[in-house]
Amino acid sequence: GAAMMLAELAMEAGLPKGVLNIVHGTHDVVNNICDDEAIKAVSFVGSNTAGMHIYSRASASGKRVQCNMGAKNHAIILPDADRDATLNALIAAGFGAAGQRCMALSTAVFVGGSEPWEDELVKRASSLVVNTGTANDADLGPVISRQAKDRICKLVQSGADSGARLVLDGREIVVPQFEDGNFIGPTVLADVKGDMKCYQVFLECLLCISFNIIFKKSTHFFLPKIELDDHLPCYI
């Protein structure tokens, strides 16, 4: 929808016909773009599976190709961060466009632990209005399909089953007059670990990871050990 609006504005501004083209479609359209000799370069943002296919097929045709795949954006929150500004940023980045955008913030890493932030985070997330995308008061619209909703629900449940705390569950939200809509309310999982399926894939909810810094004394200086969780230790 946004792409079509941009194209219409470009036409109104006087851009000649044929300079900008919006083409909708799935596999066949993608393969035609990869194979067409008139197209010299391809840029893609999306899943790993689609990106690897596009990269191999388009490059085999001699095209220049760039593929940005499997986004899993993180924010690191330090204990002295401005609380109001940080919470507002987490809510906007985590739940804008129902989390279905490549720059969505899916993971918040809290240095010192997420618990001091959780009550206010849940309060602000719960205040977001879930409604149809055409409603003026909507903060979150529906996700793109029934399959997408089912996938999100299953991944959230897998996180809870693996030991994450479900501090806000938006899976059962119902929008009046649209009871069969593909809506997912704001959802927050805490105590997420690196080996959980919900962390390893793109997921349209906010995952909270606790992050502790331990200072280990060495011969010449203090070496801080960073511990995301039991599975992701590292040193700086």
Mean pLDDT, residues 76-89: 94
Which position has the higher pLDDT, 223 or 40? 40
pLDDT band at 97 (very low <50, low <70, confident <90, very high): confident
Considering only CA atoms, which of 204, 210, 206 is closest in space to residue 230? 210
pLDDT for the residue numbered 218: 54
164-173 mean pLDDT: 95
Tens digit of pLDDT for each residue in 103-147? 889 999 999 999 999 999 999 999 999 999 889 999 999 999 999
N residues, the chain: 236
Among the listed residues 34, 67, 102, 234, the single catalytic one is 102
Segment 62-74, tens digit of pLDDT? 999 999 887 788 9
102 noted as active-site residue: yes
Predicted confidence (pLDDT) per residue in 22-31, tens digit: 999 989 999 9
Q: Is 13 helix (H, G, I), strand (E, B) or coil?
A: coil
pLDDT of residue 213: 66
Strand partners, 235: 225
Q: Which residues of 138-176 are buried (b: 16+ CB within 10 A; e: fewer)?
A: bbbbbbeeeebbebbbebbeebeebebbbbbbbbeeebe
The whole-number pLDDT of residue 212 equals 76
Q: What's the rounded mean pLDDT across residues 153-174?
A: 95
List the one residue out of 225, 189, 218, 190 whose CA is nearest residue 205: 189
Q: What structural domains does the chain harbor?
A: 2-68 (no CATH), 73-213 (3.40.309.10)
**Contact (CB, 8 A) for 206 and 125:** yes
Contact 73, 66 (CB under 8 A): no
User: Taking 90 as the threshold, does the pLDDT of residue 176 lie above it?
Assistant: yes
